[in-house]
Amino acid sequence: MKYFIAANWKMNKTIGETRDFLKSFIPMVKELRDVDIVVAPPFTALSAAAEEMKGSNVLLSSQDVFWEEKGAYTGEVAPAMLVDAGCRHVIVGHSERRQYFHEDDQVVNKKIKAVLKAGLGVIFCCGESLEEREGGKTFDVIRREVEQGLAGVDPDNLVVAYEPIWAIGTGKTATVDQAQEVHAFIRNVLSGLYGSRAGEIRILYGGSVTPENVDSLMACKDVNGALVGGASLKPESFVKIVSFKKES
């Protein structure tokens, strides 16, 4: 299975900064063929990023989307607009969307269906908070988010990202054993939804991924890539992550 590593820049980088990053980054990864490399800049920089990525092995993703095709939805962006801007993927259900913008599993499900209908790939996020983990609710939360978020969803063009909320931007990273345990559980839940096709779905780890811990994380049986935040903002750092050497 080809690895999948995505940079989520969140609310960072202007158009100029995006161009500068990609001008530096793309030549450094042009020989990599065993990993899908994806970058998700803010909406304002999507078209500029698409221009810089043209002809390269780096793919463009949006950080979010709205589920309607068009209409009176001030401030929102439709799936077809993302296609027009050059996107190939969309991040849906990120913990920050759930936390700050109160997106629930039903909203996430509508967005996923709209994205797939438009022919885009989905990077679907799920994960538990520190309170939920300490309360022994990790698997209950993950099962609910996966089953409800993916209800009625075809697995084609689907990537799942496990992001323990307690490890995002905190410097805390799930241990290798913790990551593998939850990834294996997600694989099991996906098997309940999709049968043998679950084995084809890549599951990413997201939560303070760095050049220092990426090798050990990628060595986990059910970890097929990473969703990277802060460590993806500098070309030199992100190059080290996408060029990981899997530990034996």
Contacts of 90 (CB under 8 A, 6+ apart): 61, 62, 63, 64, 65, 79, 82, 111, 115, 120, 121, 122, 123
Strands of the chain (E only): list them: 3-8, 35-40, 58-62, 89-92, 121-126, 158-162, 202-205, 225-228
Q: Out of 94, 96, 103, 132, which one is annotated catalytic?
A: 94
Residue 47 and residue 41: Cα distance in Å, rounded? 10
Under a CB-based contact definition with an 8 Å cutoff, are residues 217 and 186 in contact? no
CA distances for 245 relative to 94, 212, 214, 216, 217, angstroms: 27, 11, 8, 9, 10
Task: Determine which one of 103, 132, 145, 163 is catalytic.
Answer: 163
Q: Is 102 a catalytic residue?
A: no
Amino acid at 207: G
Examine the residue annotation and report whether 163 is marked as an active-site residue of this protein: yes
Residues tagged active-site: 94, 163
